[in-house]
Copies of this chain bind each other. A is one copy, B any other.
Amino acid sequence: MREDAWSGKDVLSILDFSRADLETLFETADGFVNRPGSVPKSLTDRIVATAFFEPSTRTRLSFSTAALKMGAKVIDLSPDVSSVLKGESLSDTIRMLESYSDLIVMRHPSEGAALLASEVSDVPIVNGGDGSQHHPSQAMLDLYTIRKLKGGVDGLRYVVLGDTRYARTAASFLYGLAKYDPKSVYLVSPEGLRLRNEVRNMVDKLGLKIEELDDLEPILDKVDVIYMTRIQKERFPDPNEYEKVKGSYRINKMVLSKAKDAIVLHPLPRTNELSYDVDDLPNAAYMEQARLGVPVRMALLHLVLGERGR
């Protein structure tokens, strides 16, 4: 067990964690999933602060649920009723939360916001998503879901579909995959939504080989995992660009008839890129993925905060 990688640490990017660190996380989560009755109340008397400067439902609520299940109390900064509106700087807000809490889960639209927060805070910062690259707990639960449903992450064939430019989940997932040994990784996205150079460079540096394609069709029967991303209107500088691509790269029952054994992951919420007729297919793994967000985040909070007092 490499708990030292976690205890008291910030969780800013999946890049900061080794494969062995992730295995520690996943084994801890396994314990919580397999023996729910034995979940330790290791966060008793701890305060977890949630600070979401961008809307979020799954991330905020699943972290809150995870914290509460481990015995912590949760305080929530709602940005609309906050000093942020009075023009307070992020570092002042974080220093306030730091003095009230034992750990801060934050989301912020700006790249590097979580890193900045970690520099001013003595309590651990968990990045619930910032900028367009990092959403570590999402990538961790994505990998955990694959590990659980496919028996492992290595040796599989992946396609990341849709918005690979603005979706931080896509970049984080690739960074996570780079810790493993996938057989192949395809990226299928429209021209305006291709990978950013900084992400492509990082993926190269990490030694992850990816192949970019315009169309899903030719590789549909060659993939084990389809990782979808929502095509988010709010990520587009130009609304016309959004209108052009919003229907592309849609997955439905008919499409999946050519990919019987592939599981479909999606961080959710979905818009129209993922059809409801997929929900009842054995391919659909996204609801299980959302559900597993709670034990993975419980494990994360336990390793970061629960171990400290021992």
Contacts and interface: CB of A to CB of B under 8 A. Distances in A.
Contacts of A234: 86
Residue from A47, A61, A77, A270 with most neighbouring chain B CB atoms (10 Å) = A61
Contacts of A69: 45, 47, 73
A93 interface: yes
B294 A86 contact: no
Contact of A100 (B62, B81, B86, B100): B62
Interface string A209-250: 000000000000000000000101010000000000000000
A200 interface: no
Contacts of A100: 61-62, 65, 294
B83 A75 contact: no
B61 A68 contact: no
Interface stretch (A27-35, A52-60, A185-193, A299-307): A52-60
Interface residues of A, number: 51
Contacts of A15: none
Interface of A: 45, 47, 49, 52, 55-58, 60-62, 64-65, 68-69, 73, 75, 77-89, 92-93, 95-97, 99-101, 230, 232, 234, 268-271, 276, 287, 290-291, 293-294
A290 B68 CA distance: 26
So how many copies of this chain end up in the complex?
Answer: 3
A49 to B, nearest CB: 8
A277 to B, nearest CB: 13
Contacts of A65: 47, 75, 100-101
16 contacts: A45-B69, A47-B69, A56-B83, A57-B93, A58-B96, A60-B81, A61-B75, A61-B96, A61-B97, A62-B100, A65-B101, A80-B81, A83-B269, A86-B234, A87-B271, A92-B270
